[in-house]
Amino acid sequence: MIRANRWAGRRQAFLLIWVGLVFGGCRAAGVAQESHRSDAEGVTVAMPAVSNVDPGATLDDSTLARLVQEIQPTVERSAGLVATSPLNVAATDEARLHDYLTEQITTQLSVEEAAAITAAYARLGLVPDSLDLRALFLALLEEQVVGYYDPKSDTLFVHERVGVEQLEPVLAHELVHALQDQHVALDEVQAALGERNDASTAAQAAIEGHATYAMMEWQFASMTGMAADLTGLPDLGASFENIDLTQLGDFGPAEILANAPALVREGLIFPYVGGLVFLQRLWKQLPSRTLPFGVDMPASTEQVLHVERWLAGDRPTTVEFTGSAEGWDIVYAKDLGELETRVFLTEHLGVPPWAERAAAGWDGDAYRLLRRGDAEALIWISVWDSPEDADEFAEAAAEAYARFYADEDREPDIARATIDGRAVVRILDSPAGVDLPAAASAFELHGGEDVGR
C-alpha cells in the first residue's frame, strides 16, 4: 500500500513500491555470502537470485498462480496468518496501471481538497504553494509501483516491469496483504480511521511493515534453506539509518521520488522502514508475535517510532478546536503527529538529531489553517509528555520558524502553558499586524490515558 499520510486520502489498493521491495535484498552479515556491503554496518543491498523460477518464464497469470502456491506456506508462517480462501493473482501492464491509479486519485482526492492540503503544508514550509499534488502522486506511483493488492477484486496484481528474479519477493509482499485482508478487512481498517492523519499513518506502517517483514523472512529462508527469524538480527533501525533509499532498487530510476518534497518521500518510505523496524523491535520482546491489528494496532507514529510506547499502552491526547474563526475561512484542519513534526523541524533546522530529540515527547496535536482574503494564519496546538519536552520543542520550533521566515516580516507567537496538568505549546502564525479572534485558538484536550498492555 502507498498513501502519503493525509495527502492521498484513503486508498482501496495496497501497493508495493520498489523502495519497499529493496528491503527484501537487505541481508544481515553472516546470513548470506558473496553480497555487496553498503555503508551501513551489517546490511547488504544485493537482491538474491530466485533459483526456482525459469529465467525464460513469461509474466502471465498461470506462472504467477504457480509461484503463489509455492511460496504461500512459508509466507503464511512468517505472517502468522493462514489463507481462508483461494488467492487470485494477475499480471498488469503500464496502461492498465495508469488507468487504475488515475481512477484512484481522481475519486479519492478532489481538486479542492488537494489545494487545501497543499496550502496547509506550504504554510508550514514543507511544499511549494504551486505544487500540483494530484499530478505529483500520479507520477510518483507510476514510477514506483511494482505490485498491488486490490481488496475490491481480492486479487494480487504484479506489474510487467518486474523481472523474473524479483517475482517471488513481490508476490510474497502482496500475498501478506491478501492474507491480512481475509482476516481483518483492510479497507474497513482504513475507513474506520476516517480523517485521523497520524493514526492512519501508524496503521499503514503496521500493514506495510508486516508485509515487508514476512517478505524478508521468506527471502532469508529461500537463500539459506532454513527457517528465518528477523528478531535474531541486529536492530534494523540502525542498519537503515545511513542508507539513501531513493538510490536503491532494481526497477529503474527514482528521479521523481528523489526530487519530491521531503514530506512526500517520508510519507512513502516510512510505512515500509518504520513499520519493519517497529515489528522487529516489538517481536524481539514478544516472541509470540502479536499481530499489529485490531486493539494491538499502533495508535500513533509515536508508538511506531518508540516501541516502548506501544508496550506501555500509551495513547495520544486528542486536541479538539472548539471555537469559531469569525471572519476567517477554515481552509484545512488536521494533526501532524510525531513523524511529521520531526519532518517539519528537520526541514527548517537541517539537523536531524536535533529535530528527532525535539519531536520526541509528542503526546498529541492539531492545527487549523485560516484564510481571510490574501492573509493566511495557522494555529498549531501540541501536547507533550513533560514540561521539559514542551520547552525543548518550543525552542526548536522558534528557531525553525526564524529560519523559515528569515526574509519575511512574520514572526509566529509561540507560547507555553499547562492545561489540565498537561504541557502544551501554542503556535499562532499570522501576518504581522493581523489579529486573530481569540475563539479561533480555543481548544479542549481529551483522552491520553495509558490503556496498558
What are the residue ranges spanned by the domains of the chain?
Answer: 5-311, 315-447
For the chain, the helix, strand and coil percentages under 3-state DSSP, each to the nearest 5: 50, 20, 30
Q: pLDDT value at position 88?
A: 92
Distance CA 440, CA 321 (A): 8
Q: pLDDT value at position 192?
A: 66
Hey, what's the cell of 262?
521531503
- pLDDT digits 0-9 by tens, 57-84: 667 888 899 999 999 999 999 999 999 9
Q: Quick one: which of 271, 205, 280 has its CA closest to 235?
A: 280
Q: pLDDT value at position 253?
A: 57
Q: pLDDT value at position 407?
A: 93
- pLDDT digits 0-9 by tens, 236-286: 988 777 666 555 544 455 789 889 999 999 998 899 999 999 999 999 999
Distance CA 71, CA 156 (A): 14
Q: pLDDT value at position 239?
A: 74
Q: pLDDT value at position 449?
A: 67
Strand partners, 157: 90, 148
Q: What is the DSSP letter of 407?
A: T
Q: pLDDT value at position 164?
A: 77
Residue 267 CA to its chain's centroid (Å): 5
Residue 124 CA to its chain's centroid (Å): 19
Amino acid at 289: R
Q: What is the pTM of this model?
A: 0.88
Q: pLDDT value at position 196?
A: 79
Q: Quick one: which of 318, 331, 341, 292 has its CA closest to 453?
A: 292
Q: Which residues of the chain have pLDDT under 50?
A: 1-12, 18-51, 249-251
User: Taking a C-beta distance cutoff of 8 angstroms, is the pair 264, 141 a contact?
Assistant: no
Q: pLDDT value at position 243?
A: 62
